Amino acid sequence: MSISYAPAGKSGKWDGVMDWFQMLSGASLILFMWCHMLLVSSVVISPGVMNSIAEFFESTGLAQVGGPLIFLVFLVHFVLAARKIPFRFDGQKTVVQHAKMLNHGDTWMWVIQAVSAMIILIMGSIHMWVVLTDLPITAAKSAARIQGGFWAAFYLVLLPLAEIHVGIGFYRIAVKWGFIKDRERGKFKRGENVLTLMFITIGFITLIRFMFLAIN
């Protein structure tokens, strides 16, 4: 279920176009997040594997160009999605009241996605800024950051929030744009929950690996 708080008169052709770009930017970020998690988790296999992958992205310029481009897509996606998020207290109160009244899982998923988006905007921006202003990426450098203490707690919050947000987004894209039928929703949602839990588990294992990685 989708809830819209766009001002009156803003619906129509352009609202549809913005919805389309919101979907495309969201799908791009979902794919990036999954690939990013798999690439970073390569440190579990070996720090050398992660360094080799990072070096490839550096040498081809993908890190220098792709990083800022992903950040731009990230900001554009938030602006597009923010059209349907109430920022005033009375609007937020109304959303919660409606969610309680409807008592529907998909409605609560939208609420969770909207709340997590606010936190991810701040924490995700900080993460990308820190990484992109400290190139090249290496396993030792990432481990040193995590072992500093603050960043371990930071990622323990950001990791599950980001993966839950991505998982809900994937499900809502599939439902809204008709990629799955109504009768398939339950099965698709269960599969997505398993996928989200899998990526969160991989993320936690990766954090643990960084915590105990020798950096000297």
Determine whether 112 is exposed, middle or buried from the number of CB atoms within 10 Å of its CB (0-12, 13-18, 19+).
middle
Q: What is the CA radius of gyration of the chain?
A: 19
Compute the distance between CA of residue 3 and CA of residue 13 in angstroms, rounded to an integer: 18
Query: What letter does residue 10 receive in the DSSP assignment?
Result: -
CA angle 178, 183, 188 (to 5 degrees): 70
Is position 104 annotated in a ligand binding site? no
* 8 Å CB contact between 158 and 120: yes
First to last CA, the chain: 51
- Any known ligand binding at 165? yes
Torsion of CA 71, 74, 75, 77, to 10 degrees: 160
- Residues 2 and 98: their CA atoms lie apart, in Å, by 12
For the annotated binding site, the residues are: 36, 77, 127, 165
For the annotated binding site for heme b, the residues are: 36, 77, 127, 165
